[in-house]
Amino acid sequence: MNDKSGLTPEKWRAIVENDSSYDGVFYYAVNTTGVFCRPSCKSRVPHIDNVRTFPNAQKALSEGYRPCKRCNPDGPLLPDEELCERTALIIGERYHEPLTLSVLAEMCHASPFQLQRTFKRIKGVSPLEYISQKRICEAGKLLAASDETIAQIAAKVGIANADYFSALFKKKTGQTPTSFRQMKREVEQ
């Protein structure tokens, strides 16, 4: 992918999957339309060669792109969206810690019930499921890039029990951590 565009495989995946957890993290613009959007925008997926990314809406505006009328990327987030974005940010930074719904709710100044209901409505998954997804995603990166043991990787992503980690990893990816690591290494060679 073109370095000048700032588009990484992770950002492209977020755009294709309309991943709202990346809203506010970056914005993308389409050269052919002159419009910029949030990653969660439900507009048609643009051709990859026509995409540029920006760290904020102001940068996209200064480069001459117009805000999308569908996702309103330069507008404020609604209070519920702010709660979810704050929660997702905390999870992204602290996924390796023992996070519970109560702990997250306290950090976000919300009740556990409100956080659970709002997060699931906006993100499509519960906060705890989101934590699991983040942990498995980070574990996949570590499995591909390091020679650490499965137990060490499990501990690094916040799962103390290696057997539970292996079962969860297989449930989420369809592969054991060991077979995932072997497959990634074969692909790289």
pLDDT in tens, 108-142: 888 899 899 999 988 999 999 999 999 999 999 99
> What are the C-alpha distances in Å from 17 to residues 20, 29, 35, 55, 61?
9, 16, 19, 19, 24
CATH of the domain at 142: 1.10.10.60
Q: What is the pLDDT of residue 181?
A: 93
Q: What is the pLDDT of residue 137?
A: 95
User: Which run of H or E residues covers position 14?
Assistant: helix 9-16
In terms of domains, do 98 and 61 share one? no
Q: How many independent structural domains does the chain possess?
A: 2
Kindly state the DSSP code that residue 48 receives in the 8-state scheme: G
Q: What is the pLDDT of residue 78?
A: 58
Is 55 part of any domain?
Answer: yes
Domain span at 44 = 3-67
Among candidate residues 67, 99, 121, the one where a domain is terminated? 67
The reported pTM is 0.61
> Helix, strand, coil shares of the chain as percentages rounded to 5?
55, 10, 35
Q: Give the separation between CA 69 and CA 182, rounded to whole angstroms.
A: 45
In terms of domains, do 55 and 138 share one? no
Q: Which residue has the higher pLDDT, 90 or 70?
A: 90
Of 3, 57, 2, the residue nearest 35 (C-alpha)? 57
Q: In the predicted model, what is the mean pLDDT of residues 15-25?
A: 85
Is 91 part of any domain?
Answer: yes
Is 79 part of any domain?
Answer: no
- Residue 2 pLDDT > 70: no
User: Both tokens of residue 148?
Assistant: 């650490």
User: Both tokens of residue 17?
Assistant: 């999957």
Confidence band of 77 (pLDDT split at 50, 70, 90): low
In terms of domains, do 181 and 95 share one? yes
Residue 15, CB half-sphere, CA atoms under 13 Å: how many?
Answer: 24
Residues designated catalytic: 37
Is 170 part of any domain?
Answer: yes
Q: In the predicted model, what is the mean pLDDT of residues 157-172?
A: 95
Q: What is the pLDDT of residue 99?
A: 94
Is 15 part of any domain?
Answer: yes
Q: What is the pLDDT of residue 50?
A: 95
In terms of domains, do 101 and 186 share one? yes
In terms of domains, do 59 and 95 share one? no
Please state, rounded to an integer, the average pLDDT across all residues of the chain: 90
Among candidate residues 11, 36, 67, the one where a domain is terminated? 67
